[in-house]
Amino acid sequence: MSTIVLVTGSNTGLGLEIVRALFNSSVTYTLILACRSLDKAIKAIELIKNDYPESKSEAWGVELDLENDESIKKCFEVISGKVDRLDVLVNNAGAQFDLALRDNTMSIREIWNKTWDINVTGTHIVTHTFAPLLLSSHSPRLLFITSGVSSLSATEDSTLPLDRPPPPGWPKDAQLIDFPAYRSSKTGMNMLVRQWTRWLKEDGVKVFAVSPGLLATGLGGMGADMMKKMGAEDPKVGGEFVRNVVEGKQDEFAGKVIRRAGVQPW
């Protein structure tokens, strides 16, 4: 019997690498790729199957828009019509819009509202909607993809580039490059993880916040090349780490924010 895994935002970036890592595992999976576009999910599946033709796992796609309650509902109806449970839900879908302030394409309010709507509110509603399928599993896992920049403790270290105080005066250029909306939304997600850990503790669900490290993806529109110049690693590294969590290799740290080096401080 295969392990059934739903990965949101899985047609590009870290999400795609998570699916690739699982598809290439010795464990047999049924992978459900939930993406804003069904066509993109199908193309991602074709790519993965071409790369790993010997895999015994299977994959199929479904449309999901975290900003749309009706889309979330329909996604659940499609999935629950095909499977009787979810063994793993990977809340990977997320977005970063802070740089839109620099480009004058979004207002501050628009940036913050949209960031939180996707990264926190939408993620919470997806989890709430699919919780019944998770509870039908004999070994359920619930993952939230967070970030290294979500740590409140780390902000006390002013030697870190993102936490170095800017020069006096106004306006602050730091508002354009510190990603405050994205960072705070991921910190908010960490609290969401604590909530779901408590809510599902007696149901035996292992809940994790996974901090995959700085990866060279297209998050926020900076592009993979720019991210690499900032020291970002290949997204494949993050995908393999998430696979380790899915396959139980980090179970001792359930309920916490985990990174490859161990537990990330809150």
Active site residues: 147, 182, 186
Of the chain, the end-to-end C-alpha distance in Å amounts to 37
Neighbour-count burial of 45, counting CB atoms closer than 10 A to its CB (0-12 exposed, 13-18 middle, 19+ buried): buried
Distance (Å, rounded) from C-alpha 148 to C-alpha 177?
16
Length, in residues, of the chain: 266
- Tell me which H or E stretch contains 62: strand 58-63
Distance (Å, rounded) from C-alpha 140 to C-alpha 131?
10
- Residue 218: alpha-carbon gap to chain centroid: 14
User: For strand 262-263 and strand 257-259, is the pairing parallel, antiparallel, or unpaired?
Assistant: antiparallel
Distance (Å, rounded) from C-alpha 73 to C-alpha 232?
36
Query: Is there a contact between 44 and 11 (Cβ–Cβ < 8 Å)?
Result: yes
Q: Which segments of the chain does DSSP mark as H helices, in order?
A: 13-23, 38-51, 69-80, 108-116, 123-134, 174-177, 180-199, 224-229, 235-246
Distance (Å, rounded) from C-alpha 147 to C-alpha 220?
14
